[in-house]
Chain A
Amino acid sequence: MRIRYTFRTAEFVLLILAGAIVIGGFCLLSAVDHRHIVTGDLRYPALYVGSTLLLSLWMGRFAPRSDQLILPTVSLLAGVGVLVISRLDPSLGHKQVVWILLGETGVAILLALPRSVGALRLYKYTWAFIGLVLIIATIFLGTDINGSGYRRWIGYHGIFFQPVELLKPLIAIFFAAYLDEKHELLTGARLRIGRLRLPPFQYLGPLVLIWSLSLLLLVKQNDLGSALLFLGIFLAMLYIGTARAVYPLTGLGMFAAGVFASFHLFPHVRLRTEVWLDPWAHSTGSGFQLVQGLIALGAGGIGGQGLGQGQPLNVPVVTTDFILAAIGEELGLAGIAALLGLLLFLIFRGMAIAVEDPDGFRKLLAAGLMAILGIQTIVIVGGTTRLMPLTGVPLPFLSYGGSSALANYLIAGLLLKISSERAQVQT
């Protein structure tokens, strides 16, 4: 058998460019720390850059036709993430590299698997079931490792995992399969109540289920971010799948009603809203983090203080949820805009893949995965900058977090596989 190999030139060159930026950033960081260029501990960044190049070579064999701009964008984002995390806490930076390597291995395996993305739809209820079990297990068996008062991690011998991260791609797969199967039913028959035309209720079971799941997350875990995220993914995919505006509008209305009720029923939801409206009144208590984040962003201004030259460690949990504050303080608005530009490019690219794919399931899956990244970015950037109530979700590819890194690489891997299959169909 002849082995077909394609050298992915554009991707490889872009990865070298991204790697140079990341390594350059590390040199700059050590220059700031030691007042002269020391190429001391470049092992981890070099390992990371090397691994991205290896992955590109691997894809030349197993996914030669997949999109060539996704991996470089992801790699630059994740590389800058490693850089900023290392600046805040070098040992966490090293850990993050290990998580990313695991994620890249996952992508490599996923792309080399002979089965197509479409095969995922066969096990759709399995995915949904695993997801629900994970969430319920976390609520009852989970650990609270950061003293937030909520059990959000599942741990085993010192290795902790955040199931809600894995749930994101799983839910997108389930929705894509469900909506693709029920496409005709959801767009076709209509129920009339007076002048109002509603979708057929019997097929809206999952909508109600997700609505209750997101409210459960909100109330039991105080996790408004994930609640918004799951609902957002579902409504986005429902709208993409059916082109009927009534679904997202109904869903948002239901969510607003749920939030309004929880505002009056649960004190922690009310406190969160008050902190959002006036963080300075709570600046020594529950608003401390938000206020410190705002001070950091203000200190950064447009150009930033320069890598390694600010004091971002004053912000609590700056390596995960508040990484944007650290980026803003040291790279400034200019740096934030560039990184958000990269995220935007990635999401745009994924949406373009979704638009062009002839297969309903893959189309919905690609769009849903991009909705995950997009909504997550909006929720945390909006929260950090006080555009909306703060809620802790990681900034995709930039925040520290093993579960989140793995989940994001899984998303990137699925997107690459979808683009690779589309290319095979069309030629």
Chain B
Amino acid sequence: MSVDDALLVGRIAFVAALYAFLLVLGLLLRRELRTRASLLDERAPCDLLVVDPHDTAFEAGERIPLLSQSTIGRGGDSDIVLDDSFVSAEHARLGWNGRGWVLVDLGSTNGTLLNGKQVKRATSVKPGDTIEFGRVKTKLVPV
């Protein structure tokens, strides 16, 4: 093989190596997305423990199982129906994003409190945190 042939091979190999690197990045990305998708499929590992039910049908100490995404509100099509006059029809959403719980207020009238603090945008919630929807007080607890 002459020097020129060797240089030609080297030239092609260099550009090919750049593409190989991109391919590896793509494969790693795919693996990461798959892991995350499988995490999303898992049953959410927490319940909502009712601390203060107020006018709702629940009793204090009762556990409400959570979906991977649960909407909470007074309206009948909410996943978790809290029939209390201080709860808005569509009050809040609590969801599992693959790594942690995230609470969002859906523009409720009387607000959503996380450990006594008003929640506005998506906020992460840990097991043991207190969540209040209007006057209904609950707690996130592990299953």
Contact = CB atoms under 8 A, between A and B. Distances in A.
Nearest to B18: A338
A306 B25 contact: no
Contacts of B1: none
B21 A18 contact: yes
29 contacts: A14-B28, A17-B21, A24-B13, A28-B7, A28-B14, A31-B3, A36-B3, A69-B25, A76-B18, A76-B21, A303-B12, A304-B15, A307-B14, A335-B15, A338-B18, A338-B19, A339-B18, A341-B22, A342-B21, A342-B22, A345-B25, A356-B97, A358-B122, A358-B123, A360-B121, A425-B100, A426-B124, A427-B99, A427-B100
Given A338-B15, A338-B18, A345-B25, A306 B100 contact: no
Interface in B14-57: 14-15, 17-19, 21-22, 24-25, 28-29
B142 interface: no
Contacts of A303: 12, 15
Nearest to B6: A31
Contacts of B15: 303-304, 331-332, 334-335, 338
B10 interface: yes
Contacts of A358: 102, 121-124
Contacts of A14: 21, 24-25, 28
Contact of B11 (A10, A307, A339, A342): A307
Given A14-B28, A338-B15, A360-B121, 13 more contacts: A21-B18, A24-B10, A28-B10, A28-B11, A80-B18, A306-B8, A334-B15, A338-B22, A341-B22, A358-B121, A358-B122, A426-B100, A427-B100
Contacts of B21: 14, 17-18, 21, 76, 342
A248 to B, nearest CB: 22
A167 B17 CA distance: 35
Nearest to B99: A426
A73 B28 CA distance: 13
Nearest to B100: A426
Interface in A395-423: 423
A427 B98 CA distance: 10
A117 B18 CA distance: 33
A251 interface: no
A307 B9 CA distance: 12
Contacts of B24: 14, 17
A35 B3 CA distance: 7
B108 to A, nearest CB: 15
Interface centre among B8, B22, B102, B121 (most CB of A within 10 A): B22
Contact of B29 (A69, A307, A332, A339): A69
A306 B11 contact: yes
Interface string A102-115: 00000000000000
Contacts of A338: 15, 18-19, 22
A335 B12 CA distance: 10
A24 B18 CA distance: 11
Interface in A126-172: none
Nearest to A341: B22
A32 interface: yes
A25 B14 contact: yes
Given A334-B15, A338-B15, A345 B22 contact: yes
Interface in A1-57: 10, 14, 17-18, 20-21, 24-25, 27-28, 31-32, 35-36
A17 B18 CA distance: 10
4 closest Cβ pairs, A-B complex: A338-B18, A426-B100, A306-B11, A426-B99
A377 to B, nearest CB: 16
Contacts of A10: 28
A182 B8 CA distance: 58
A42 to B, nearest CB: 15
Contacts of A69: 25, 28-29
Contacts of B13: 24
Nearest to A357: B122
A20 B24 CA distance: 14
Contacts of B10: 24, 27-28, 31
Interface in A288-322: 303-304, 306-307, 309
Interface in B85-143: 97, 99-100, 102, 121-124
A307 B25 CA distance: 24
A363 B12 CA distance: 40
